[in-house]
């Protein structure tokens, strides 16, 4: 559930908060649509992620754990870079690149967590686990959209990126402690 809630961070930022912020600051519907369409492309390529993960694994950490921790570390790093670069609403290309990378990381996390659940849970428990994971992701993007919207209305994107980078890093550290 924690890992899925972190997948909600790029979705909440990319589908709710940043498009509204862009529109409120003069971006055209075409610019907002191109931003959203581009950053969501990685979600359509999850099949490729699965093939890559099935081919390459860091065996001492298991088939999926290395991918999960790497994806989480890259998500936190991307958010920190976003905070440092601090693009404004006119810097749509920079925002698009950062959020696309963030979504690529989230899709690797998604596929790895799904694979890990299939690997370690009994078949009878999978429907419940899948429901809980989806609920975690929904809670993650709703909460992210709400909090990021408030923060963007009051300040710059740096505050938003640092806040959620810290959340991802903290949750990732928690996940890294358990096998």
Q: Which residue has the tokens 């589908």?
A: 15
The DSSP letter of residue 56 is -
**C-alpha–C-alpha distance, residues 100 and 78, integer Å:** 10
Neighbours of 172 (CB within 10 A): 21
Assign 60 a pLDDT band (cuts: 50, 70, 90): low
pLDDT digits 0-9 by tens, 117-172: 888 889 999 899 889 988 998 999 999 999 999 999 987 899 999 999 999 999 88
Residue 148 near residue 164, CB atoms below 8 Å: yes
pLDDT average, residue stretch 77-86 = 95
The DSSP letter of residue 26 is T
Q: Give the whole-number percent of the chain exceeding pLDDT 90.
A: 58
Q: Mean pLDDT in the chain? A: 90
Question: What is the predicted pLDDT for the residue at 179?
Answer: 64
Quote the distance between the C-alpha of residue 75 and its chain's center: 7
pLDDT average, residue stretch 15-41 = 95
Question: What is the predicted pLDDT for the residue at 42?
Answer: 94
Q: Which two tokens stand for residue 139?
A: 């809670």
The DSSP letter of residue 64 is S
Q: Which two tokens stand for residue 12?
A: 């909440």
Neighbours of 126 (CB within 10 A): 13
Q: Which residue has the tokens 């490729």?
A: 48
């Amino acid at each position: 559930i924690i890992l899925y809630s972190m997948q909600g961070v790029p979705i909440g930022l990319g589908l709710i908060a940043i498009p509204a912020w862009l529109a409120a600051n003069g971006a055209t519907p075409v610019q907002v649509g191109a931003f959203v369409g581009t950053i969501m492309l990685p979600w359509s390529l999850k099949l490729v992620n699965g093939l890559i993960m099935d081919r390459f694994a860091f065996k001492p950490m298991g088939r999926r754990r290395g991918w999960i921790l790497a994806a989480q570390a890259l998500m936190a790093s991307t958010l920190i870079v976003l905070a440092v670069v601090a693009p404004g609403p006119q810097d749509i290309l920079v925002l698009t690149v950062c959020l696309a990378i963030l979504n690529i990381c989230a899709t690797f996390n998604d596929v790895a967590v799904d694979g890990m659940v299939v690997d370690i849970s009994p078949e009878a428990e999978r429907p419940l686990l899948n429901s809980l994971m989806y609920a975690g992701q929904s809670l993650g993007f709703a909460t992210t959209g709400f909090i990021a919207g408030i923060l963007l209305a009051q300040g710059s994107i740096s505050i938003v990126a640092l806040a959620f980078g810290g959340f991802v890093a903290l949750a990732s550290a928690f996940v890294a402690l358990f096998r």
